Amino acid sequence: MPWRDELEPYKIWVSEIMLQQTRVDQATPYFNHFISLFPSVYDLAKASQQEVLKAWEGLGYYSRARNLHYAAKTVVKEYGGRLPETYDEIIKLKGIGPYTAAAVTSIAFNKPNAVVDGNVIRVLSRYYGIEDDVRSTKTRNKIQEFANRLIDEERPGDFNQALMELGSVVCSPTSPKCTQCPVQASCIAAGTAKTEVIPYKSPTKKKPHKHIGVGIIEDEDGKVLIALRPEDVMLGGLWEFPGGKQKEGEEIQQTVERELKEELGIEVKAYREFMSFKHVYSHFSITMHAWLCKLISGTPSANASQEIRWVEKSELEQYPFPKANKTLTQKLKKKR
Ligand code: SF4
């Protein structure tokens, strides 16, 4: 990890927010880029939300970026630019939950707060032979209690990072390297040959799949119409092509025409599919169908968005879009 020896609380905070839903190898280039753009909490607080979302583009779970930005302003305004050092204070900041509060305060300020992430859950459930479902809150609370009892009061940050690293490097999900593990002698799962069945995770429900129809409207100069999503929804604050979910019994071009009428107050004719592609989110997946549309009547207005804007296709990449739209904006750029 590039921030391995990092002691600056701001950078530890940013890295922990990125690592909430992203693997280290994926987060690393984003972390470096983000820190080069916003090297201090003051730089982040001063930036516009669009700049922050653009730096986060492709990393997903954009509420993390919005909350981080909001919290940076709070830190500057209410804490004089210094991140609060205690668990009870830091957890009040937007976007910081129990896990991140424990991670940041232990690593940055040496506070004895045990961090329990997926890696720690795997190590401790195997070590103590916990066979209960690790998806349940009860089991997680039990593991948290074990971690709280184990934590090294003198070096809590090192303890937390060491336990997480043991999970990611040695006690891996499918083939733990027990013979190289420093705690093998007292590990119950290793001693009873149960590493394959611990931790137990109950099966997840199948993700629903949705079809989304979006419209590409060009004006006479070849500019296309994009909309800024509302602040308080999934992917809020990002730009998109107007459209929405297909209803039962509807053809996809009807979806596009209906959605554009609802969202922009205009009549369009969706005349040709430009492209379609699949994208997987954490709780559902989509097929996005992008249709070329001809404006029949009306003037577009931002009925369902913060703002709408006509932009040159070559300018599209200056705007933060959800990852799913990337292939679409790239193909559009080449369209004459
Ligand atoms: Fe994991 Fe094996 Fe170490 Fe137990 S001995 S903690 S199962 S790597």
109 in any annotated domain: yes
224 in any annotated domain: yes
Report pTM. 0.71
- Decide which of 139, 158, 191 is a domain's last residue: 191
Q: Are 187 and 305 in the same domain?
A: no
Distance CA 336, CA 329 (A): 13
Which residue has its alpha carbon closest to ligand 1 atom 5?
184
Confidence of residue 21 (pLDDT cuts 50, 70, 90): confident
Q: Are 160 and 289 in the same domain?
A: no
Residue pair 91/16 in contact (Cβ under 8 Å)? The answer is no
Tens of pLDDT, residues 190-248: 999 999 999 999 998 888 999 999 999 999 998 999 999 998 888 889 999 999 999 99
Q: Which residue type occupies 188?
A: I
Q: Are 233 and 124 in the same domain?
A: no
Q: Are 216 and 264 in the same domain?
A: yes
Tokens, residue 114: 């045990």
199 in any annotated domain: no
Residue pair 213/243 in contact (Cβ under 8 Å)? The answer is yes
Q: Are 247 and 282 in the same domain?
A: yes
Q: Are 249 and 174 in the same domain?
A: no
pLDDT number for residue 231 = 85
Give the rounded distance of the alpha carbon of 332 from its chain centre. 26
3 in any annotated domain: no
Confidence of residue 327 (pLDDT cuts 50, 70, 90): confident
Tens of pLDDT, residues 72-110: 999 999 999 999 999 999 999 999 988 899 989 988 998
CA–centroid distance, residue 176 to ligand 1 (Å): 6
pLDDT number for residue 161 = 87
36 in any annotated domain: yes
Q: Are 151 and 265 in the same domain?
A: no
Q: Are 221 and 329 in the same domain?
A: yes
Q: Write down the mean pLDDT value for the chain.
A: 92
- Decide which of 191, 223, 246 is a domain's last residue: 191
CA–centroid distance, residue 2 to ligand 1 (Å): 26
Q: Are 218 and 178 in the same domain?
A: no
How many domains does the chain fold into? 2
The contacts of residue 279 (CB under 8 Å, 6+ apart) are: 285, 286, 288, 323, 324
Q: Which atom of ligand 1 is nearest to the CA of 195?
A: 7
CA–centroid distance, residue 180 to ligand 1 (Å): 9
Would the CB of 130 count as within 6 Å of ligand 1?
no
Confidence of residue 4 (pLDDT cuts 50, 70, 90): low
Q: Which atom of ligand 1 is nearest to the CA of 122?
A: 1
Q: Are 226 and 158 in the same domain?
A: no
Distance CA 151, CA 4 (A): 20
Active site residues: 16
Locus of tokens 């369902």: 304
pLDDT number for residue 98 = 86
The contacts of residue 50 (CB under 8 Å, 6+ apart) are: 237, 319, 320
186 in any annotated domain: yes
Distance CA 193, CA 157 (A): 31
Q: Are 324 and 249 in the same domain?
A: yes
pLDDT number for residue 323 = 83
Domain that holds residue 218: 209-334
326 in any annotated domain: yes
The CATH number of whichever domain residue 177 belongs to comes to 1.10.340.30
Ligand 1, from 171, 172, 180, 197: best to mutate by most atoms within 8 Å of Cβ? 171
Tens of pLDDT, residues 278-320: 998 888 999 999 999 999 999 999 999 999 999 999 899 899 9
- Decide which of 165, 191, 217 is a domain's last residue: 191
Q: Are 174 and 279 in the same domain?
A: no
Q: Which atom of ligand 1 is nearest to the CA of 188?
A: 4
The CATH number of whichever domain residue 317 belongs to comes to 3.90.79.10
Tokens, residue 189: 């799962």
CA–centroid distance, residue 122 to ligand 1 (Å): 9
203 in any annotated domain: no
Distance CA 234, CA 309 (A): 20
